Structure 1
C-alpha cells in the first residue's frame, strides 16, 4: 500500500470514526493532572503489613524462600489450579494476603461478575496500603471508558496501564478495529498475551485464564476447561523483572493519557467522585451469591490449607520462560518463550504430551516436528486439542482441519479432540448457574457435585471422579447459542489449557498456544518445572482430557477402495492441501472416531487392530448441528489458510 493511499485512508478513518478526535499533548497532560490530583492518599489500615489476611497460599512463598536460603538451592511450591472456582478463590485469597505489592497482567479483562469482583478487591488492597499495578492488553479489556477514568483516579497506590492501545484509545470500536487491520496490520496484531498475578514478589499465578466469567465456571452456557499454576518461591523475582520490563515499555500507556479516557476526565473535571457512580463498589452483579461464596472460601484459612495449600508440590528448579516487549520491536532473543519451548520439545526422546486449544502450527514448528519424526529415536507426540463442537474459534479450527493429513501422516501426531460435553471435566457446574433453570427445562434432574477446592482432591493430580452425564449433556438450553449449534443442549465446555510434558521429566504450564500467533505476534510466558511428582500430576490432568468419555480420536479414514483409487485420492488431497489459499478436495484423509465399550475393548492407538475393532467413525465434525457443515468448514478452510500467521 502506497504512502498516499495509507494517508488517505487514515484521514478518512479519522473523519468517519465517531468521537475519535485525538487530544493534544497539553490536553493529555491536563487529563493526567486531573486524575493524579483526584487520587486520595488516605489508608484504611495503619499496620505495617497493610492488614493482610492470613493465607496458607501466601505462606508457601515465605516457606520456599526460607528453605532456599537454608539449602543454598532454589526451593519452590507448585500447585495446579484445574477448577475455575479454585483459581478464583486462590486469586482473591492472595490479593487479600498482600502486604506490599500486587502486579496483574492479562490479555482480556471483562466487565462482568468476575471482572468487577477482582477489580474491587484490587482497589481495596490499594486503599489499605498495597501498591497495585494493573497492566492489560488494550484490545479486549475496556468497554466502559468512564470506569477506566474512575480507576485512573481511584487511589495513589493504584495504577492502570493499557498495552499497545489502538489509535491511543482505551476502547476499540468496530470502525477502529477495521481501520487498525487495514492501516496498522502488524502493529494492531502485536498483543500482550501474558497472564500473571504476582503478590509481594513471592507467589505468582500464571496460565491460560483471563478475567472473564467463563474462565471461572461462572457462565451458564459456555465455560473453558483451563489450567493455571500457582508457584511460590524465588522464581517470583524473574516474574517481577519481566513485569517491570512491560510496565516501563512505551507501549504500556497510563490510562489517563488515552484519548477517550482523557476526554472523560476533561469533560467531568476529573474522575467520578465515588466508585458507586460507575458501578464498581455496587456493581450490577448478576449472581452476588457466588461472590459471597468465593469470599467466604477465600477467607477460610483452614479450608484453604486443607483444600489447596496442602496439595502444593515441593519442587526445586523452576524456569520462567517469557517474552519481553522488545519482541514487538524486532528484538527477539534465543531466550524468549517460543525458542525456549521449541528447544525443550526438540530434545524429547520418548514422548511429547501437548495440550493446546488451537492446533495450528507455525512453519518453524512444523519443520521441527518433521526433523524429530525422521530421527531413529522419534518420540511419540500426543496432542489434546478442541473439536469443532467444543471450540469458540471456528476459523482456527477450519485451518487445523486443513492440515490433519500433515499432522497424522508426516508429523506422526496422535490427536484427541475435546468433546463439548465431557463426562469428566474440572468444571463447577453449580457455579455456572445452569442448574438454576426450572426443572421442566432440563432433560433430566441434575446430579452435579459441588466442586469447591476440586482440583486438589486427588493428591497426585489424578481425576477426582466423573461428572454426571446429565450435568453437561442435559441441563440448560442456552448452549445452542454458542459458537456453533450443537445437536444436544447443555453447559458447553471448550478447551483453553496450554500445557506440555516432555519425556516425563519436565512439565510446562503457561499462556503459549504453540501456534503462529504465539510465535510471531503475541508476547507469551510459561513456567517449566523439573520435578517427577509435578510432571506426574500434570500428565494425569492432560491424560484425563484424552479419555474416551472426554475426547474423540482423529485417525485415518478407512475407505473401501482399490489401492489405485486410494492412492489417487491421497495424492490429490495432498496437492490441494499444498495450495496457499484453496483446499476444496471433498474426501478428507482423516475423520473422528468414538470408543465403543465392550468386554474385549479398551482404549488403543489408531494403528492397532484393537482400535479398528473398538472404535467407530462418527464423522468429521461430530455433535455439530449444521446441515451444510462440511461445505461451511471447507469454505473457511480455503480462505483461512492464508491467515495462518495470525490465527
Structure 2
C-alpha cells in the first residue's frame, strides 16, 4: 500500500519526491508520446485580486487585535499540537469569517475532515464571504470535479498551482508528461495557509485530510500548526496574494471545463452538506465539541503568546518562463539563526537530508559546545523510505561529532498507549526549529533539498521564550525512550563504527543493531532506491 500511487493523505508527500526520480533515459520516448497527446492551454487570463486588509472591520479582527493593544507591532500565537484542535481551529475560523477566507494547500483530501471543512467554507460563501482556494495540482486528480463544484459558487474562486496538462488520477499520462516537462512539474507549491478576514491565520505542516487531524483509521501523522493573529497576518496574506496572482495559479475552469447546470450544482452542494452532516454526528466531532476549543477560537478567547515575528515566504516561480531558478526565503534566515546559537538547537523534521553543508553546520555547533538534538522519522515510521536513505548516510557523521538523533517509534491504532504532542501519530510530519529556547521557526518546510531548492514553502520566525519553552517541553516529551529510538555509535566519536538503537519496550531497555521494526524488504528497498535517487530530489 505504501508504494502505490494514490490520492490518500498518506501518499501525498511521497509523490512529489518520487516524481523526480524516474530514469532520464526515458525522456526521449516520453517526449515522442506526449507529442501525440492533446494539451490544455494553461497560460490563461486571470483577474487579479487581493487580500482583505481591514481586519478591524470584522469581529475576528476587533476581538483578537484588542488583545494585542498593549504590544504594538507584535502578534499573538497559539501552538496547535493536537490534530483535533487544529481541525477545530480551521472550522471555527470558517464559521466566524465575515469578509474573506484565503486558503492555500499542497493537498486537499477526499475524506471526512476535508469535506466538513469545505462545507464550512461553502457555508461562509453563502453568507457573502469571499473565498479564494489555491491548491497544488499534483494531488488534485479526481478531486478536480469537486473543487470545480465549489468554484461554481459566485463567492468562491479556485485555482490550481502549476497544473498538469493531462488530467485525472495520477497515472501513466501524468508520468509521461512529468518525464517530458520535469523541470516545471517537479516544482510544487508546498505552502499551507488558512486565513480568515485578514485577521487570524493557521499555518504549519498540516494539509487538509483525516491523517493530519488524527481522524484516520489507517495511519495518522504527528504534526504541528500555529494559530497567528495580529500584524504578521497581513504579511502572510501578502504571501498568499503573490501566489494567487502569479502565472502559476490557473483558474480551475481552464482545466475542468464549463460550469455545471444549476440543478447539478445544487445536488453537488447538497451532497457535500450531507457528508458533512454525517461526520458532525461522529464520535470524533462529538468529542471535540465537549472540549469547546472551537468556541474559544471563534470568540477570540484562545490563549495567546504575544511576541514579535516575521513571515518568511518563497517567491512563486513562473512555471511558464524559460528559467525556473528559485532562491529560498526561509533557509538562509534559518541557517543564520542556527549558526549564531549559543546554547541549544532543536530540529524537528519528518524528512531530514542535511547534506554535507548541513552536517558541517551542525557539527560546528556541537564542537563548540552547543547542544544539538534532532527528531525525525525512523525507517519503520517514515512514509517515504527513499528519503530516509538520504538521511541515513549522514547519521554516523552527525553522531560522531556529538549531535543527538532520535527517530520516531511508529504509533497508530495498535500502539500500547495513546500518545500526545509531537509523537502522536504513526509517522512524524511536524516541522519546527528552536534556537536557544527563543527563536522559533514553524512552517511547511522540511529540512531537505526538495524544500530548500525545488518546492515553495512558508514559515514564521517568532522571537518568544514562552513558545520556545513550550516547544522544548514538547520535544522532551516526544523523545522519551518509550516514544523513540535513540541512535548511537558502538564506538562514540568514531563515524566508521556500527550503529545501534536504544529504546524501551514494556518499560524494559531494548537495544537494536539495525533499523528497528523495519522489515528486511523495507530496509533493502530504502538502500536500493537511496542509491539511485539524486540527493537534490529528496
Whether TM exceeds 0.5 here: the answer is yes
Structure 2 residue corresponding to 1:160, chosen from 158, 161, 166: 158
Tell me if structure 2 keeps the 8 A contact 1:501–1:508. yes
For residue 621 of structure 1, what is the aligned residue in structure 2?
Answer: 515
Residue 410 of structure 2 contacts residue 426 of structure 2 at CA under 8 Å; is this kept in 1?
Answer: yes
Describe the shift of the 1:638–1:296 C-alpha distance in structure 2 as closer, same or farther (beyond 3 A).
closer
Residue 350 of structure 1: CA displacement?
1.2
Say if 2:513 is the partner of 1:516. Answer: no
CA apart distance, 1:150: 1.8
Residue 361 (structure 2) pairs with residue 368 (structure 1): yes
Evaluate the alpha carbon distance shift between residue 65 and residue 303 of structure 1 in structure 2; reply closer, same or farther with a 3 A threshold.
closer
Query: Within 1, Cα distance between the matches of 2:359 and 2:106?
Result: 27
2:101 maps to 1:80: no
Between the two proteins, the alignment pairs up a number of residues equal to 501
Q: CA deviation at 1:296?
A: 7.5
SS of residue in 1 equivalent to 2:426: strand
Q: What secondary structure, in the 3-state scheme, does the structure 2 residue paired with 1:282 have?
A: helix
Distance 1:591 1:78 in 2: 39
Q: 1:623 to 1:529 in 2, by over 3 A?
A: same
**CA–CA separation in structure 2 for the residues paired with 1:175 and 1:239:** 37
Equivalent-residue separation in structure 2 for 1:552 and 1:292 (angstroms):
30
Separation (CA, whole Å) in 1 of partners of 2:283 and 2:136: 25
Cα deviation, 1:336-379, whole Å, max 9, x if unaligned, reads: 112121111111111110000012124543343354455xx342
Aligned mates of 2:42, 2:106 — CA distance in 1: 28
Match status 1:644 vs 2:535: yes
Q: Which residue of 2 aligns with 1:406?
A: 397
Alignment counterpart, residue 33 of structure 2, candidates 12, 24, 36:
12
- Normalising by the residue count of structure 2, what TM-score does the alignment of the two structures yield? 0.82
* Secondary structure of residue in 2 paired with 1:179: helix
2:407 matched to 1:498?
no
Any residues of structure 2 matched to 1:132-281 within 5 Å, and which?
Answer: 132-153=131-152, 155-167=153-165, 169=166, 171-258=168-255, 261-262=256-257, 265=258, 272-276=264-268, 279-281=271-273
Look up the match of 2:8: none
Report matched runs for 1:573-588 at 5 Å: none
Partner SS state of residue 226, structure 2? strand
1:340 equivalent in alignment to 2:333: yes
- Which residue of 1 is the match for residue 20 of structure 2? none
1:159 deviates by 0.3
| CA-CA distance at 1:494 after TM superposition | 0.7
Deviation per CA, 1:472-517, whole angstroms, max 9, x where unpaired? xxxxxxxxxxxxxxxxxxxx61111001110112122111111101
Answer yes or no: is the 8 Å Cα contact 2:167–2:174 preserved in 1. Answer: no
Q: Name 1:323's counterpart in structure 2.
A: 314
Residues 596, 214 of structure 1: alpha-carbon distance in 2 compared, 3 angstrom cutoff: closer
* Whole-angstrom CA distance in 1 between matches of 2:370 and 2:522: 35
Distance 2:29 2:410 in 1: 46
Tell me the secondary structure at the aligned position of residue 427 of structure 2: strand
CA contact (8 A) 1:557 1:590 kept: yes
CA distance in 2 between partners of 1:369 and 1:345 (Å): 9
- Shift in CA distance, 225/302, structure 1 to aligned 2, threshold 3 Å: closer
Instruction: Answer yes or no: is 1:22 the counterpart of 2:13.
Output: no
Aligned positions of 1:545-564 closer than 5 A? 545-557=478-490
What TM-score do the two structures reach when normalised by structure 1? Answer: 0.69
Residue number in structure 1 paired with 2:125: 126
Counterpart of 1:501 in 2: which secondary structure? strand
Say if 1:359 and 1:70 are closer, same or farther in 2 by CA, change over 3 A. closer
Q: Deviations over 1:416-457 (max 9, x none)?
A: 0111128xxxxxxxxxxx6xxxxxxx99xx986xx9xx87xx
Partner SS for 1:109 = coil
Q: Is the 8 A contact 1:131 1:157 kept in 2?
A: yes
Partner SS for 1:534: helix
Q: 1:289 aligns with which of 261, 281, 306?
A: 281
Deviations 1:14-66 (A, max 9, x none): 54xxxx6335699x89xx99xxxxxxxxxxxxxxx9xx9xxxxx75x534533
* CA distance in 2 between partners of 1:93 and 1:9 (Å): 47
Q: Distance in 2 between matches of 1:77 and 1:320?
A: 13
- Name the CA shift for 1:248/1:539 in 2 (closer, same or farther; >3 Å): same
The alpha-carbon distance between structure 1 residues 108 and 597, as it changes in their structure 2 partners (threshold 3 A), is closer
Find 1:594's aligned residue among 503, 508, 511. Answer: 503
In structure 2, the partner of 1:577 is none
Mark the runs of 5 or more structure 1 residues left unpaired by the alignment.
34-48, 53-57, 423-433, 435-441, 456-462, 468-491, 560-565, 572-587, 599-613
Q: Contact (CA 8 Å) 1:591, 1:619: kept in 2 or not?
A: yes
CA contact (8 A) 1:111 1:143 kept: no
For 1:86 and 1:200, the matched residues in 2 are separated by 20
Q: Of the two, which has the highest radius of gyration?
A: 1
